[in-house]
Amino acid sequence: MSALWGARILRVKVVILVLLLPLAACEYSPDEPPAPAPTATHSVDPAVFLAAVTRQLGGPPAGSSFPYAIGKTAEWTAELAAGDYLLTAACSGATRLDLKLTRAQGLPEARDYPCGEARASFFRHTGGTLTARATALYGLEAGVAGVKIEPNSDESLRENFGASAWARDVLDPSRPGEYRGSATSDAPTSFGLAAPAGRYELNFACRGTAATRLSIRSWSGAPALAEMTVPCGEVISTDLQLPSDGAELSMAPAGGTGQYSFRLVPSGKGQG
């Protein structure tokens, strides 16, 4: 009797085990979707862009005393002797390069370039403090900008810089109270004049390109002159109202390298 009872208990245990097996199989059903794998993160090594900018700039200047900087925002300030210089800027890992050049006691000269290749510009420095700030815009956080300056050794650039004399002579004689400036660029550029709010006559001339897109706004952003196309080769004059202090002229050449000369003359002033 005890042996029979033991056999029944064994059969019951086997039946219970058999009944539990399907339940255990259901708990780990292969039809259920697998747990999601951890998402891999994608990162870009800033060293790649750093190397690209270094290559575009051609490395640091040969003279160790001349400024050179690379970074998300590359900036340097230096005391430079009067002379002819070449300023080179580049960026990688971004869309645009914003370059601002500020001379002692002057307003920033803004330049905007596409990334991908170095942009070099010749300019004549009258001596003193010079600050350059290059920023990589509209790209990856790892984007890199670079800027350097070195003495100009290209005689053709020096000869072409007759734009300086032209800019001075084309609007001569000077007029009392005028606010004058000039610029040279193969890309959109801007220039600030420290003129107070008021009524002005604008004199503007350009060469080196067939025409220039020109617009003016105050430093607060208020429009003073809607964008217009100015044919080059002659001096144009127009009246405008500067609604608040400071005038920023924006110019863009229609191909080639535009050379610009301009001034604001307070209305009612004599011609001198």
Asked whether the domain spanning 162-266 has the same topology as the one spanning 46-158, the reply is yes
pLDDT of residue 163: 61
Average pLDDT over residues 179-188: 90
pLDDT of residue 68: 93
pLDDT higher at 217 or 165: 217
Give the phi and the psi of residue 243 in degrees, each rounded to 5.
-70, -25
Architecture of domain 162-266: Sandwich (2.60)
Kind plus residue range of the DSSP H or E element containing 262: strand 258-266
Residue 172, classed as helix, strand or coil, is coil
Residue whose tokens read 């009067």: 82
What digits encode the pLDDT tens for the residues 76-100? 999 999 888 999 999 999 999 999 9
Share of the chain above pLDDT 70, in %: 79
pLDDT of residue 125: 84
First-to-last alpha carbon distance for the chain, in angstroms, is 136
Task: Please count the CA atoms within 13 angstroms of the CA of 43 that sit on its side-chain side.
Answer: 5
What digits encode the pLDDT tens for the residues 1-38? 444 444 444 444 444 433 444 444 344 344 544 444 44
pLDDT of residue 5: 42
Kind plus residue range of the DSSP H or E element containing 140: none
Pick the CATH number of 46-158 from 1.10.150.80, 3.30.429.10, 2.20.25.90, 2.60.120.1300: 2.60.120.1300
pLDDT band of 111, cuts 50, 70, 90: confident
Whether residue 157 contacts residue 93, with contact meaning beta carbons closer than 8 Å, is answered with no
As a whole number of angstroms, the distance between CA 216 and CA 219 comes to 10
pLDDT of residue 38: 42
Query: Domain map of the chain by residue range?
Result: 46-158, 162-266
pLDDT of residue 141: 80
Residues, the chain, total? 272
Whether residue 56 contacts residue 107, with contact meaning beta carbons closer than 8 Å, is answered with no
